Amino acid sequence: MEFTETACAKINLHLEVLNKRDDGYHNIFSLMVSADECDLLQLEELENNRGNDIVNIRILPKGGTHEWLMSTVPLHENLIARAIKAYFAKAGIGGSVVIGVQKNIPAGAGLGGGSSDAAATLRLINSHLHYFSDDELMKLASTIGADVPYCLVGGYALCEGIGEIVVQLEGILQYWVLIVHKNLHISTRKAYEALGRNTRGTYSSIEIENKKKLFKEGFIKGDIGIFKDVLKNDFEEFAFHMYPELQSYKMQLKSRGADYAAMTGSGSSIVGIFKDYDAMRKAEKWFHAQEIQVIGAQIV
Count of beta carbons in the 10 Å neighbourhood of residue 60: 11
Q: What is the pLDDT of residue 1?
A: 57
| pLDDT of res. 295 | 96
d(CA 67, CA 61): 6
Distances (CA, A) of 140 to 80, 88, 113, 297: 13, 11, 18, 30
pTM: 0.95
Return d(Cα 277, Cα 251) in angstroms, integer.
19
- Of the candidates 39, 117, 147, 234, the residue annotated as catalytic is 147
Check residue 202 and give its pLDDT: 83
Question: What local confidence, expressed as pLDDT, does residue 86 receive?
Answer: 98
Distance (Å) of CA 267 to CA 147, 179, 192: 14, 11, 12
pLDDT at position 83 is 98
Whole-Å CA distances, 121 to 24, 44, 116, 275: 28, 12, 9, 33
- Residue intervals in the chain for CATH 3.30.70.890: 176-298
Most distant CA pair in the chain, distance = 62
Considering the chain, tell me which residue range(s) the CATH 3.30.230.10 domain(s) occupy: 4-168
The answer to whether residue 285 is catalytic is no
Residue 190 contacts by C-beta under 8 Å, 6 or more apart in sequence? 238
What is the model's pLDDT at position 52?
82
Domain 176-298 has CATH 3.30.70.890: yes
Q: Please give the pLDDT value at position 53.
A: 85
Q: Is 147 known to be catalytic?
A: yes
CA angle 209/173/233 to nearest 5° reads 50
Q: Position 228: which residue type?
A: K
Cα–Cα distance, 115 to 83 (Å, whole number): 9
Surface-to-core class of residue 293, CB atoms within 10 Å of its CB (0-12 exposed, 13-18 middle, 19+ buried): middle
Spell out the per-residue pLDDT of the chain, length 300, in tens: 569 999 999 999 999 999 999 999 999 999 999 999 999 999 999 999 887 889 999 999 999 999 999 999 999 999 999 999 999 999 999 999 999 999 999 998 999 999 999 999 999 999 999 999 999 999 999 999 999 999 999 999 999 999 999 999 999 999 999 999 988 888 889 999 999 999 988 888 999 999 999 999 999 999 999 999 999 999 999 999 999 999 999 999 999 999 999 999 998 999 999 999 999 999 999 999 999 999 999 999
Q: Which residues pair with 94 in a beta bridge?
A: 49
Nearest to 178 by CA among 60, 275, 56: 275
> Which fold, 4-168?
Ribosomal Protein S5; domain 2 (3.30.230)
- The CA–CA distances, whole Å, from 189 to 6, 185, 232, 264, 266 equal 28, 12, 19, 16, 9
User: Taken in order 174, 64, 106, 6, is the CA torsion positive or negative?
Assistant: positive
